[in-house]
Chains A and B, each alone.
Chain A
Amino acid sequence: DAGVIQSPRHEVTEMGQEVTLRCKPISGHDYLFWYRQTMMRGLELLIYFNNNVPIDDSGMPEDRFSAKMPNASFSTLKIQPSEPRDSAVYFCASSLEGGLAGGYNEQFFGPGTRLTVL
């Protein structure tokens, strides 16, 4: 199994531009999570999906952030417009069904996308 796949691995953009991050979860996993990691705030859960449906987006910082999961094998996280404070590493993770919010099973993380907004 290829594991969780994220693209791009690195993204450098200018303030105001739209950024789209992509994730392919492990086949058969029911939950998909988007995290943001920064030095200041550590690892933050932004949003998670169960069977392609967004369940909890309370971690999304503001309306500039949106996430979709059109099918079981693909999800996007979009930032529009981007700002320098959005610079971070964004991780996608997936897990099998279990408990609520997948809380019974380990999460498998992708390699992350390092986003730099100038």
Chain B
Amino acid sequence: AQSVSQHNHHVILSEAASLELGCNYSYGGTVNLFWYVQYPGQHLQLLLKYFSGDPLVKGIKGFEAEFIKSKFSFNLRKPSVQWSDTAEYFCAVTFNFNKFYFGSGTKLNVKP
């Protein structure tokens, strides 16, 4: 069955630390990959997406993600986090342009 896994459920970092959140998906043909962010009390917003081309994708607010096909991964990175990055981050995948599968989410807590 198709699935998306986010292994880090809760991450705590100090400001200026580097961030990497893992996202792995099951094999399922052509994939489109997304990272969404949900700030406290708010709705999900798109951070970045990958459809094709350069596997290193730049998103908003200094985030980037790298698609590694051989590892079925799409990890989210940011070189230096800020307190305002405190939020929950969701990886999402569509397989063969079909419906979205969301990961379980990673809560990021950035200490000022």
Contacts and interface: CB of A to CB of B under 8 A. Distances in A.
Interface of A: 4, 33, 42-43, 45, 48, 56, 91, 93, 98-104, 106-112
Main secondary structure of the interface of A (DSSP, over half): mixed
Interface stretch (B15-23, B67-75, B79-87, B96-104): B96-104
Task: Report the interface size class on chain B.
Answer: 20 to 34
B63 to A, nearest CB: 15
Nearest first, the 8 A-B pairs at minimum CB distance are A99-B97, A103-B94, A101-B99, A103-B97, A109-B44, A42-B104, A109-B43, A100-B98
Contacts of A110: 43
Output the residue of B32, B94, B104, B105 with the most chain A CB within 10 A: B94
Interface of B: 32, 34, 36, 42-46, 49, 51, 90, 94-100, 102-105
A107 B100 contact: yes
A42 B34 CA distance: 17
B98 A99 contact: yes
Given A43-B105, A99-B94, A106 B99 contact: no
25 contacts: A33-B100, A43-B44, A45-B100, A45-B102, A56-B99, A93-B44, A99-B97, A99-B98, A100-B98, A102-B99, A103-B32, A103-B94, A103-B96, A103-B98, A103-B100, A104-B32, A104-B94, A104-B97, A107-B100, A108-B46, A109-B36, A109-B43, A109-B45, A110-B43, A111-B43
